[in-house]
Chains A and B, each alone.
Chain A
Amino acid sequence: SQKIEQNSEALNIQEGKTATLTCNYTNYSPAYLQWYRQDPGRGPVFLLLIRENEKEKRKERLKVTFDTTLKQSLFHITASQPADSATYLCALVGGSYIPTFGRGTSLIVHP
């Protein structure tokens, strides 16, 4: 069965460092991969999209990579700030074009 895995343990890092979050998947051939941010008590907010034929995408301090051979996406936040603390969700978009979400990884940036 299709499976999307994100680290369930919170990632704790120091302000100014680069945060790297991982999204692994099995039994899936996504055409797109999306990353969302979710704050407590709020709905997810879209951050970045990367297509299957793209290796890397950047937006300001954010960088996403997509390796269809490894079946993995990495999400990087450079020069992290306490305001970056949130839960980050990856979502795979396959043939049905409907996003299927991972359970998310909590990021805590300490000042």
Chain B
Amino acid sequence: DAGVIQSPRHEVTEMGQEVTLRCKPISGHDYLFWYRQTMMRGLELLIYFNNNVPIDDSGMPEDRFSAKMPNASFSTLKIQPSEPRDSAVYFCASSARVLGDMGSPLHFGNGTRLTVT
């Protein structure tokens, strides 16, 4: 298995531009998570999906952020318009809880480093 795949690895954009981050979870995993990591705040959960349905988006900082999961193998996180304070590393992770083990670990992608100038 190739693991969780994120693209792009790096994104540099100017303030006000739209940014779209992409994620392909591990096949068969029924949970998908978007986290943001900064030095100041560590890893913060933004939103998570179960079976392609958004369950909790309370971590999404503002209406400028939106996430979709149109099918089991693809998710996007969009920021429009972007601001310098959005600069961070954004991680996608997936998890398999089909056996009901709610302690199942997360499998992370290698992240997208976003820089907004």
Interface positions of A (Cβ within 8 A of B): 31-32, 34, 36, 41-46, 49, 51, 89, 91, 93, 96-104
Query: Are B4 and A93 closer than 8 Å at their CB atoms?
Result: no
Chain B positions 32-75 with a Cβ under 8 Å from a chain A Cβ: 33, 35, 41-43, 45, 48, 56
Interface membership of B110, Cβ < 8 A: yes
Across-interface contacts of A104 in B (CB, < 8 A): 42
With a CB–CB cut-off of 8 A, which chain B residues contact A103? 41-43
- Contact, CB under 8 Å: B102 / A31: yes
Q: Which of A41, A43, A46, A97 contacts B102 (CB 8 A)?
A: A97
Assembled-state Cα–Cα distance A36/B95 (Å) = 14
Is A43's CB under 8 angstroms from B110's CB?
yes
Report chain B residues within 8 Å CB of A32.
102-103
Q: In the bound complex, do residue A43 and residue B4 qualify as a contact, i.e. CB atoms below 8 Å apart?
A: yes
Residue B79 is within 8 A (CB to CB) of chain A in the complex: no
Residues of the A chain whose Cβ atoms lie less than 8 Å from the Cβ of B102? 31-32, 93, 97
* Complex Cα–Cα for A97 and B102 (A): 6
Closest to A47 in B: B105
Bound complex: CA A109 to CA B52 (Å): 42
Chain B count of residues within 8 A CB distance of the other chain: 21
A-B contact pairs, 13 of them (CB 8 A): A31-B102, A34-B103, A34-B105, A43-B93, A43-B110, A44-B43, A44-B106, A46-B105, A49-B103, A51-B103, A97-B102, A97-B103, A103-B42
Query: Is B108 within 8 A of A44, CB to CB?
Result: yes
CA distance in complex: A31, B108 (Å): 21
In the complex, which residues 16-44 of chain B have their Cβ closer than 8 Å to any Cβ of chain A? 33, 35, 41-43
Task: Give every chain B residue within 8 A of A96 (Cβ-Cβ).
Answer: 56
Q: Is there an interface contact between B45 and A89, defined as CB atoms closer than 8 Å?
A: no
Which residues of chain A come closer than 8 Å to B4, judged between CB atoms? 43
Neighbouring B residues of A42 by C-beta, 8 Å: 110-111
Q: Assuming A89-B43, A98-B56, A101-B43, is B107 touching A46 (CB within 8 A)?
A: yes
Name which of A36, A97, A102 has the most chain B CB atoms within 10 A of its CB.
A97
Q: Identify the closest chain A residue to B107 (Cβ).
A: A46
Residue of A nearest to B44 (CB): A101
